[in-house]
Chains A and B, each alone.
Chain A
Amino acid sequence: MNPLLERTWRDTGFFSAINHKTIALRYIVTSFAFFVAAGILAALMRLQLAVPENDFIGPDLYNQLFTVHGTAMMFLFAVPVMEAMGVYLVPLMVGARSIAFPRMNAFSYWVFLFGGVMLFGVLALNIGPDTGWFSYPPLAGPEHSPGKRVDFYAQLITFTELAALLVAIEIIATAFKMRAPGMTLARMPLFVWAMVVTSFMILFAMPAVMFASTALIADRLVGTHFYNPAEGGDAVLWQHLFWFFGHPEVYLIFIPALGFMSSIIPTFARRPIFGYPAMVLALIATAFLGFGLWVHHMFAAHLPELGKSFFTAASMLIAIPTAIQIFCWIATLWTGRIVFRTPLLFVLAFFFILVAGGLTGIMVASVPLDLQLHDTYFVVAHLHYVLIGGAVFPLFGAWYYWFPKFTGRMMSERLGQWQFWIAFIGFEVAFFPMHTLGMDGMTRRIHTYPEAMGWGAANFISTVGALMIAASGVLFIVNVVRSYRRGAPAGDNPWGADTLEWATSSPPPSYNFDRIPVLGSEGVVVTGLAEKSREVLITTVVDAMPDHRLAFPNPTIWPFLSAVAVTVMFIGSIFTPWAVVWGSIPIVVGVTLWFWPRKDETREHLALEKRP
C-alpha cells in the first residue's frame, strides 16, 4: 500500500467516481439487476405458457414481456456485463494504473443506467414496447404501433449503443497503448485479446443498428419513409441493418465468454493454455466470419437463393474457429493437473450446453431446415443453449473466479456447487423440451395455444425448469451477500493463476499496482511515473516498449451531469423533435465544462515535464 499513490488515485464523491474498478463494479451489479428483472419477466411468460389456453397474462402484456425480456437481456445485460468485466479486468491484466478515458467510462455507465431505468420504467407503467426485441417494421412503424411504446425501444437502443461504443474505444486504447513494458501482443492474455476483438466488432456492428433505430424513430416522429414500402421505402431494409448488427451481437456476448474460458481452464488445469497462437487467430477469425452471416435470420424472407447458400456456408464454417478453441481447451485439460473448483464446473457446462447449441446452430444455418425451424421454439431452445451455455455459465464461472479479486473474499464452494447443479439441471429441463416443441410446430411469440396442439406437457416441464433456474439465481445472490460479508479472506492469488491481476492485492488499490510490472526481464525497471499526480505509462502497440508518460484526469462530476443532459435530450426527443434542438444546449455546456482545463492541474503537469 502506497499512501501517496492512494491519495492521488482515489475517487472523490459518489457521482464523480471515475476509477475503472468502481465503475466496473457498478456496471456489473446494475447489469446483474437487469438480468434478474428480465429473468422475472421470463418466469412470468413461462407461467402463462405452462398450460394450454391459459389466461393468466393477456396478449398485450405478454407481448410487452417478451419484448422487454429480449431487449433487456441483450442490450442491458449480456453486452454490458461482458464489457464491464473487461473494464475491471483489462487494465489489471495489462498492468496499467487505469483504463483509458476514465471520465468517458463513467459517462458511459450513467447513460447505460438511465437507459435501462427508462425501459423498465415504461414497462412498469404498462406502456412498454411490444413489437419484439427485433421490432420489424411495418409492425413497429407509426401506422401499426401508434403511441410511444416503440419509441422507447428505439431510444433504448440509442442509449445502450452509445454506452457500448464508448467502452469499446476505452478497451481498445487500454489494450493497445497501456500495456506494461514487455507485454508484447504475443504475450497479451487471451481474455484481453477477446475483449479487443469484441471491441472492434462493436465499432463495426453498432453503427448499423444506431442508424436503423434512428431511421425508425424518424419514421415514427417526423414522417420519414425509410421503412414504408408505400412511399418507396423498404420493410426489409430494417432486417438487413438490424441483423448486420444483431448477429455480430451474439459474438459480442460469446467472445468475452471464450476469454473467461481461456482464463479459467489453464488456472485449474495448472498449465499454460494449449495452442495460444491458434486461440488468438480463432478469436479474430470468429469476428470476421461473424459479419458474414446475418442473412441466416432472413431465410424465410424471399431473397436470392444463391445468396442464401453463401450465408449457409458462412454460418456453418464459423463453427470451425470455435471448434479449434474447444479442442485446445480439451488438450489443456488433458495434459494438465486438474483441481475441481466451482469456476471450473461452470466452465465445463460450456462443453455440454454450448456444443449442443452450436450443433443446433448448424441445423438452422441450413436453408431448408431453417425454413421449417425458423421462428419456432426450436430456435428459442437453440439461442438459449448458445447464449446461456456459451456466455452465462462461463460468466457465473468468471464471477466465482474473480469474486476474490473484486472483494478480497472467497465465495462459498458448497453453495456454489449447489447453485451449479440446480442451474444446470434446471436449464436442461427448461430448454431441452423446446426443441421438440419447435419441431412439433410451436411458433415463437405466441401468448397461448389450443389444447389440441398437444404442446401442454412439454411446456409444463419447461416451466418447472424455468423455476429451477430462478431458484439457482436466488442461491447465487445468497452466496454473494454471505461471502461479501464473511467469506474466507482470499489473499492476492487464491487460485495460483498467472495473469497480472493476481499480482496485486485483493481488492486491488485504486492505483492497481505499486510498481508498474515489467514482463520478460529480470529485476525492476523504474518507469519514473509521478506519484503525486495521475500519470500512466504509454507503450508501443506491438512490442509494448515504454513510449511516454501521460497525465490522466481527476475525478469530476461532469460526466454524470452530461449523462443526465443526454438522457433528457433522448427521452425528450420521443415527445417532440424540438427536444433535439433545446436539449443539445445543456449537453454542450456539460461537455465543455467536462473538458475545461484547470490551472492547478495544468501547472502540476507542466512541472513534471522533462525538457529534452
Chain B
Amino acid sequence: MRVQNMFSVAGPQAERIAELWWITFAICLVVFAAVLVATGLALWKGRKGTGSGHGAHLAVASAVGVSTVLLLFLIVASVATDRALAQIDASDALKIEVVGNRWWWDIRYQDPDPSRRFTTANEIAIPVGRAVELTLRANDVIHSFWVPALHGKKDLIPGRTATLTLRADKPGTYRGQCAEFCGVQHAKMALFVYALPAQEYEAWAEQQRRPAPPPADGPQQLGHDLFVKGTCAMCHAIQGTPANGRRAPDLTHFASRKTIGAGTVPNDPQQLAVWISDPHAVKPGVNMPAHAFLKREELAALVAYLGSLK
C-alpha cells in the first residue's frame, strides 16, 4: 500500500521531481558501482602486491574529472527542474489559505466575493486540472505542508507568508502530513487532498458555502443547544449558529469529513463520542479539553447533532 509515496504522482510537479530522481539515481548508482569495483580491484591487486603505480596519477586525475563533469550535469538538471516547478500557469488559480496550528490545518477558501468564502479543516478538495495557489501561514510554531503525490514541502513559518502553487491532474485522494517537528502530536497532523472533477468540485464547494442545516429532531436540537451554550462554541465555529470560536477547526460541515483529529481516527459516531469525552486518550496533548462530565444522553445528542452537519 502506497498511501504517501513520492512516486505515486498525480500532478506535474511531483512528476518532474520523480523524473529528476530517476536521472540522479541512475548516475549515482553507476558511480557507486564504479567506486566499489575500483576498491575491489585495488584490494585484489594490493593483496597480491602486483599493482603497479604506472598511470596511477592519470587514473586518479581522470576519475576526479569525470566526477566533476557528472556533478555539473546534476547541478544543471536540478536547477532546470527547479525552474520548471515554478512555471505552472496560475492565472485562474483557485486560492486557498492554509494555516498551520498545533495539530490541525485550518483551510480557508478565498474568493473576491466574501459571501463565497468558506472554511474547513484538514481536508482540502481541489478541482482536477486547475492550478491551486496555497497561501501558507502558521499560528504558533513552524509546520510544513507536504502532499508528496502533488509537490514537495513548503514550511509554514510564524510571521511569514509563503505560497505554493500546485495542480492535480488525476482525480483521487492524496494523503499528506506535517513534515516539520511541531511538538508532542507532530505524528498526528495529517491532511487529505481530494482531487475532484471540476463539476464535482463545484458541487462540493457550493455545499460547503451553505450554513449548517438546522437541527432536524429533538436529540439534534439538544446537541445544538449544548454546543452553542456550552464550552464547544468557545473554540469552534458553526456557520448559521451563534457558535463562532476561531481557535479550533470550523465544524460547519463536519459530517462531510472523513477523519477526526487531523487524520487521527475515522469520523464515525463511536469514535466521535470517544473524542468528545476524552480526546487525550486518542491524541494525548491535544488542545481540546476532555468532556467526561457530559451525561450519556448529552454526549449522544452532541454526536447526533455533529453527525447531521453534512
Contacts and interface: CB of A to CB of B under 8 A. Distances in A.
A526 interface: no
Interface string A315-351: 0110110011011101101111110100000001001
B75 A375 contact: no
A313 B75 contact: yes
A333 B43 contact: yes
Contact of B155 (A131, A302, A317, A372): A302
A302 B154 contact: yes
B3 A453 contact: yes
Given A319-B67, A334-B45, A136 B148 contact: no
A447 B183 contact: no
A229 B39 CA distance: 52
B148 to A, nearest CB: 5
Contact of A59 (B67, B78, B285): B285
B78 A367 contact: yes
Interface string A50-83: 0000000011100100000000000000000000
A359 interface: yes
Given A336-B46, A445-B181, A363 B24 contact: yes
A338 to B, nearest CB: 4
Nearest to B20: A368
A58 B284 contact: yes
Interface string B175-195: 101111111111100000000
B110 interface: no
A301 interface: yes
B60 A275 contact: yes
Contacts of B77: 366
A312 B52 contact: no
Contact of B64 (A139, A305, A323): A323
Interface in B140-169: 140-142, 144, 146, 148, 151-155, 157-160, 162
A337 to B, nearest CB: 4
A369 B21 contact: yes
A368 B82 contact: yes
Interface in A432-460: 439-450, 452-454
Interface in B26-72: 28, 31-32, 35-36, 38-39, 41-43, 45-47, 49, 51-53, 56-57, 59-60, 63-64, 67-68, 71
Nearest to B21: A369
A235 interface: yes
A331 to B, nearest CB: 5
A361 to B, nearest CB: 10
A376 interface: yes
Contact of A363 (B28, B162, B181, B284): B28
B155 A300 contact: yes
Which interface residue of A275, A301, A352 has the most chain B CB atoms within 10 A? A301
B158 A368 contact: no
A3 B208 CA distance: 91
Interface string A449-479: 1101110000000000000000000000000
B151 to A, nearest CB: 7
A372 B144 CA distance: 11
Among B46, B63, B162: residue with most chain A CB under 10 A: B46
Interface string A218-234: 00000000000110001
A371 B153 contact: yes
B198 interface: no
Q: Which residue, of B2, B86, B187, has the highest number of chain A Cβ atoms within 10 A? A: B187
B247 interface: no
Nearest to B265: A450
Given A300-B144, A334-B41, A355 B182 contact: no
Question: Chain B interface residue count: which class?
Answer: 35 or more
B267 to A, nearest CB: 15
Interface residues of A, number: 83
Nearest to B175: A441
Interface in A496-534: none
Chain A, interface SS category: helix
B255 interface: no
A139 B52 contact: no
B82 A367 contact: yes
Contact of B43 (A139, A335, A338): A338
Contacts of A59: 184-185, 187, 284-285
B179 A309 contact: no
Contacts of A334: 41-42, 45-46, 51, 56
Given A302-B160, A335-B51, A439-B7, A138 B140 contact: yes
Contact of B3 (A144, A305, A441): A441
Interface of B: 1-7, 14, 16-17, 20-21, 24-25, 28, 31-32, 35-36, 38-39, 41-43, 45-47, 49, 51-53, 56-57, 59-60, 63-64, 67-68, 71, 74-75, 77-79, 81-82, 85-86, 102, 140-142, 144, 146, 148, 151-155, 157-160, 162, 175, 177-187, 263, 284-285
Interface of A: 58-60, 63, 130-132, 136, 138-139, 143-144, 229-230, 234-236, 269, 274-275, 278, 300-302, 305, 308-309, 312-313, 316-317, 319-320, 323-324, 326-328, 330-331, 333-338, 340, 348, 351-352, 355-356, 359-360, 362-363, 365-376, 439-450, 452-454
Given A440-B4, A441-B4, A453-B3, 8 more contacts: A229-B159, A309-B78, A313-B75, A334-B41, A334-B56, A368-B152, A373-B6, A443-B146
9 contacts: A300-B155, A316-B74, A316-B75, A323-B63, A330-B38, A334-B46, A359-B32, A369-B20, A375-B181
